[in-house]
């Protein structure tokens, strides 16, 4: 059995093994990583010998870490990466290309629709009724999207939001507030089964699920990188922020909002936390636009979106899909009973 895992910003980790009476045998870890001392490699192999073929990634990781010599130095490899490669060899974990990815890119929709559809689609993927999906959002109206656990009053100046006609909605994932203006951001969601992030820590899963977009931005001339936990940055400044929601079944919703051309002055009037950050930096005002994608590429937003979709499809394959009638009905039900209600929007006052 053969399994591979390419660490985000790391090296390729390969594991070959046999399975005899439910136990791992003839385990051989290899790859283009750096590891000191040499004995650490053989310690890994020995630690995995005899492990149960049903061992979790955490259990495999613990076996490896307990066996490593004191002072072991690892570059481009980790015990978690080895455990993931083992799970892939056993077909417990999957890679991007093990799935038939679907592309959902529909005309502009209202903010509440996007919030509700996120929940519907991740539940469908979690239940196995949908293949994994890449969804690119188009916004029909300006809004502020706050994280599931953020305080509405602390994050948003509701008077200023009303003044500018900006709706406030709450998403199901954690993380910080997003200031949205149609045409000035690029937002996408990845709906993936648990097997794709099997063995990855919460932090590592962010880098893993954003790796493809770093490649897409690189093709556009932007030297982007992940900034733990959930930012995408470049030498020209922050480009995007990510957030995740995991269901009981293990499926993961990973969504990202990227700045194409944001009115920073308006954003800081609407977002209270933005004023706090501005004050801490000793800046009197932000009468400017935040435009990392527009300025660094010189391309229209639509061209960047097309390039991102093309990059994802070139790596993993993509087939077009649409929201089914049943999914539309469920989305509207969730809007009416949850996402449009004061109980949800102000659930953390």
Which letter, b or e, does each residue of 307-332 get, where b requires 16 or more Cβ atoms within 10 Å of its Cβ? bbbebbeeebebeebebeeebeebbb
Average pLDDT for 112-125: 98
Whole-number Å distance between alpha carbons of 64 and 101: 33
For residue 237, what pLDDT is reported? 84
In Å, what is the CA distance from 296 to each residue of 179, 258, 286, 301, 306?
A: 20, 13, 20, 12, 16
At 290, list the tokens: 């935040």
Residue 298 has pLDDT above 60, yes or no: yes
Q: With cut-offs at 50, 70 and 90, classify the pLDDT of residue 323.
A: very high
Q: Tokens in use for 338?
A: 């949850």
CA-to-CA distance for 218 and 119, rounded, in angstroms? 31
Decide which of 93, 121, 146 is a domain's last residue. Answer: 93
Considering the domain architecture, whether residues 62 and 34 belong to the same structural domain is answered as yes
Cα dihedral 231, 232, 238, 244 in deg (nearest 10): -40
Q: Answer yes or no: do 152 and 181 share one domain.
A: yes
Residues 72 and 137 in one domain: no
Do residues 132 and 213 share a domain?
yes
* pLDDT average, residue stretch 97-126: 97
The pLDDT of residue 286 is above 90: no
Which residue range is the domain that position 316 belongs to?
97-345
**CATH code assigned at 11:** 3.30.390.50
pLDDT, tens digit (0-9, with 9 covering 90-100), for 255-281: 999 999 989 889 999 999 755 555 544
- Domain C-terminal end among 78, 93, 108: 93
Give pLDDT, residue 274. Answer: 57
Query: Using 50, 70 and 90 to split pLDDT, how confident is the model at 285?
Result: very low
Q: How many domains does the chain have?
A: 2
* pLDDT per residue as tens digits for the range 125-179: 999 999 999 999 999 999 999 999 999 999 999 999 999 999 999 999 999 999 9
pLDDT digits (tens, 9 = 90+) for 217-240: 999 999 999 998 899 999 888 899
| Least confident piece of the model among 110-124, 189-203, 250-264, 321-335 | 189-203
Q: Are residues 80 and 104 in the same domain?
A: no
User: 93, 114, 143: which is the final residue of a domain?
Assistant: 93
Residues 180 and 247 in one domain: yes
| pLDDT of residue 190 exceeding 50 | yes
């Amino acid at each position: 059995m053969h399994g591979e895992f390419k660490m985000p910003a790391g090296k390729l980790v390969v594991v070959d093994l046999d399975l005899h009476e439910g136990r791992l045998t003839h385990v051989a870890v290899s790859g283009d990583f750096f590891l000191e001392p040499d004995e650490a490699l053989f310690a890994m192999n020995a630690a995995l010998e005899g492990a149960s073929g049903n061992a979790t990634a955490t259990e495999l990781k613990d076996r490896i870490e307990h066996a490593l010599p004191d002072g072991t130095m690892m570059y481009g490899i980790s015990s978690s990466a080895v455990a993931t490669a083992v799970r892939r060899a056993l077909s417990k974990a999957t890679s991007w290309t093990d799935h038939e990815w679907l592309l959902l890119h529909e005309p502009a929709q209202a903010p509440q629709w996007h919030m509700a559809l996120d929940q519907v689609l991740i539940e469908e993927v979690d239940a196995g009724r949908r293949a994994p999906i890449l969804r690119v959002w188009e916004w029909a109206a300006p809004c502020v999207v706050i994280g599931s656990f953020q305080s509405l009053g602390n994050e948003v100046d509701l008077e200023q939001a009303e003044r500018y006609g900006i709706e406030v909605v709450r998403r199901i994932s954690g993380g910080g507030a997003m200031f949205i203006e149609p045409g000035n951001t690029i937002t996408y969601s990845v709906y993936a089964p648990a097997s794709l992030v099997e063995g990855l820590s919460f932090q590592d899963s962010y880098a893993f699920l954003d790796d493809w977009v770093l490649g897409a931005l690189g093709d556009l001339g932007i030297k982007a990188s992940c900034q733990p936990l959930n930012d995408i940055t470049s030498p020209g400044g922050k480009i995007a922020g990510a957030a995740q929601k995991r269901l009981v079944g293990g499926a993961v919703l990973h969504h990202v909002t990227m700045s194409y051309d944001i009115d920073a002055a308006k954003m800081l009037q609407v977002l209270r936390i933005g004023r706090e950050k501005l004050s801490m930096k000793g800046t009197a005002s932000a009468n400017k636009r935040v435009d990392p994608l527009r300025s660094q590429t010189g391309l229209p937003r639509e061209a960047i979106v097309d390039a991102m979709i093309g990059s994802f499809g070139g790596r993993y394959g993509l087939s077009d899909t649409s929201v089914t009638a049943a999914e539309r009905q469920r989305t509207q039900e969730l809007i009416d009973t949850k996402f449009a209600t004061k109980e949800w929007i102000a659930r953390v006052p």
